[in-house]
Amino acid sequence: MSRTGRKRTGKKRGALSALVVLGIVVLVAAGFAGYAASARWLLSGPRLRSWINTSPETTLLDWDQAVSRWPGVVRIKNLRIRGSDANVEWEIRLADARADFSVAALLSRTFRVERVAGTGLSFRLRQKIDRGDPTRPPTGVLPPIEGFADPPLRRADSPAPARDGGRPWTVDVGDIAIDRFDGIWFDAYRFEGSARLRGRFLLRPGQRARVGPADIDFEKGVLRVGDRPFVSDLEGRIHTTIATWDPRHVQGSAVWRQVDAKIDLHGPTSGLDLLNYYLRRSREPRFAGGRGDLSLATSIEDGIASGRVRLTANGAQARRPGVELSGDLRAELRVPRWDLQGSAIDLTGSSLQVSDVAAAGAADTRGWWGKFTLAPARLRDGLDARVALECRDARPLLAALGVGLPAWTRGLLTLESLTADAEILLAPERTRVHALEARGGEFHILGEYARRSGEERGVFLLESRLLRVGVHAHDGQASLHLLGVRSWFQQQSAAIAQTSREDSRAGGK
């Protein structure tokens, strides 16, 4: 073949190759155009939603806008996911996110996401409650969740299983990174501010769930308890893992057995008003004021919690009928062990220090101080503990008695050190102080006190080396006993203690 012929043949082959490449490009472009059109149709219409939301009473997923211009990549705006099982109701909202997902996994009804990067996340969760439970929080402090009724009552039957042969879609997110976590609302606890989230989770509605490992870093924000702001500028980290569980079999507090976590939070507090939320079933005492600081360091392993909480409050105020106190406090709440499935909380080793305490209307203006140590101590429907006390003098005790004592007892007001111990019970409906014994200077004090159903009764024996007096307190009135005091006190204190024991057995304490 001549050189000219070979050139013509080469040109024809080159043109053919170019046409093939061009055809492939056109086919690929057409394919992607077709994919983009199909994706737009699926993501913007009701078809995909109906495929995913086969059981909207347990899980519902929706969004305002979703775009996928390339297979395996989707951009979502205003994503909303809500869910419910026998234990909880929850909702996730995400303002903007990009997700890289597996197209092949869709064939097995799995939305498997390798990575999600987004911003503007909010999370709400509330535990279901039993109708008539007196300890349940007020509905007004729980997070509202669109589509679910208020209050979130626990039903005797579980939500209906998913239709479509019991094969709901699985959402498996391998890596989620949120640079702005706007709000977290868990029951009565609400955080509003700046936080970041990094973690992973898996959800098969009504059948399987797993969370973590996940980290939430708090960078500044307000923590509310109920409707009261408690910590401003909250900082710290929560690290948690919730092992795979089946909500059909793991019910109520049993889910805590799947939880491992480490919590380290701190920040300035706005006051002690939040304590009134925990005392809402009781008319007294009531707290106000007390700016200070809070730090929380705790861990959870297999549903067993341990750790400590430290709280300072300056200018705190406490009020109960006939007694108004103000001062500074430093509290350390130690929790050696707490089974989150519902056992009593062990508070052994916890302590409270108060200083510069003044009583409203008191003539003596010397600042009172005291240190209370609990050992042993347990909290369940009330605090049951043995308390050791070291304090300046007996002014709070005498103020509570509200009776004019003989002149020789005034030395109790000028002591520089008084030690005491007693067994106490502080519960919404009952208060008990058993076997109180205090010593300071020349004085020795014994006491027994009980309050229940609005009725209170107490007897006290105050004695020095040569003299003694008995005090009987009943429903806000007090009287003195000067003859046969010791035998009188023994009889009266035994009667009060017996009544308290009967009340304890009747109340399960």
Residue 161 has a pLDDT of 47
Tell me how far CA of residue 169 lies from CA of 50, 93, 157, in angstroms: 11, 19, 23
Q: Which two tokens stand for residue 452?
A: 């229940």
SS3 content of the chain, % helix, strand, coil (to 5): 20, 50, 25
DSSP designation for 493: H
CA 161/CA 207 separation, integer angstroms: 9
Q: For residue 213, is the peptide bond before it cis, meaning its omega torsion is within 30 degrees of 0? A: yes
Amino acid type, 165: G
Sign of the Cα torsion 479, 485, 491, 493 reads positive
Q: Are 93 and 78 in contact (CB under 8 A)?
A: yes
Residue 21 has a pLDDT of 41
Rounded to two decimals, what is the model's pTM? 0.78
CA 195/CA 238 separation, integer angstroms: 11
Could you state, in order of their start, the residue ranges of all structural domains in the chain?
Answer: 48-161+168-270, 381-509
List the one residue out of 61, 23, 5, 411 whose CA is nearest residue 205.
61
User: Which residues, other chains included, contact 378 with Cβ-Cβ below 8 Å and sequence gap of 6+?
Assistant: 344, 345, 346, 347, 384, 385
User: HSE of 370 in the Cβ direction (CA atoms, 13 Å)?
Assistant: 21
User: Which residue reads 């006051």 in tokens?
Assistant: 271
Residue 483 has a pLDDT of 86
Q: Are 208 and 244 in contact (CB under 8 A)?
A: yes
Looking only at Cα atoms, what is the longest distance across the chain?
143
Q: For residue 376, is the peptide bond before it cis, meaning its omega torsion is within 30 degrees of 0? A: yes
List the one residue out of 178, 63, 127, 60 whose CA is nearest residue 342.
127
User: Which residues, other chains included, contact 473 with Cβ-Cβ below 8 Å and sequence gap of 6+?
Assistant: 400, 401, 402, 403, 449, 456, 457, 458, 459, 460
Q: Are 136 and 129 in contact (CB under 8 A)?
A: yes
34 three-class SS: helix
For 380-454, where are the E strands, in sequence order?
383-391, 418-426, 430-440, 443-452
Amino acid type, 413: L
CA 198/CA 382 separation, integer angstroms: 38
CA 112/CA 501 separation, integer angstroms: 60
* Cβ neighbour number for residue 269 with a 10 Å cutoff: 21
Residue 37 has a pLDDT of 65
Q: Are 61 and 81 in contact (CB under 8 A)?
A: yes
List the one residue out of 422, 432, 421 whose CA is nearest residue 505.
432
Chain-centroid distance of CA 372 in Å reads 26
Cβ-defined contacts of 85-88 (< 8 Å, 24+): 85/58, 85/158, 85/159, 85/206, 85/247, 86/128, 86/154, 86/155, 86/158, 86/159, 86/247, 86/248, 86/251, 86/252, 87/127, 87/128, 87/247, 87/251, 87/252, 87/255, 88/125, 88/126, 88/127, 88/128
CA 240/CA 201 separation, integer angstroms: 11
Q: Are 471 and 401 in contact (CB under 8 A)?
A: yes
Q: Is 448 exposed, middle or buried (0-12, 13-18, 19+ CB in 10 A)?
A: buried
Residue 490 has a pLDDT of 92
Q: Are 61 and 53 in contact (CB under 8 A)?
A: yes
CA 111/CA 61 separation, integer angstroms: 12
Render each residue's pLDDT in the chain as its tens digit; 509 residues: 555 555 555 544 444 444 444 444 434 444 444 556 666 666 677 777 777 777 777 778 888 887 877 787 888 888 888 888 777 888 989 899 888 888 888 878 888 888 888 898 899 999 888 877 777 788 888 999 988 888 888 876 555 444 444 677 788 888 888 888 888 898 989 998 888 999 998 888 778 888 889 999 998 889 988 888 889 889 999 999 988 888 778 877 788 888 999 999 999 998 888 888 887 777 778 888 999 999 999 999 988 999 999 999 999 998 877 678 889 999 999 999 999 887 789 999 999 999 998 877 555 657 889 999 999 999 887 889 999 999 998 877 777 666 677 777 778 878 888 999 999 998 877 889 999 999 998 899 999 998 887 688 889 999 988 888 998 988 777 788 888 999 999 999 998 888 777 666 655 55
List the one residue out of 172, 195, 171, 170 whose CA is nearest residue 182.
195
Q: Are 259 and 242 in contact (CB under 8 A)?
A: yes
CA 454/CA 442 separation, integer angstroms: 35
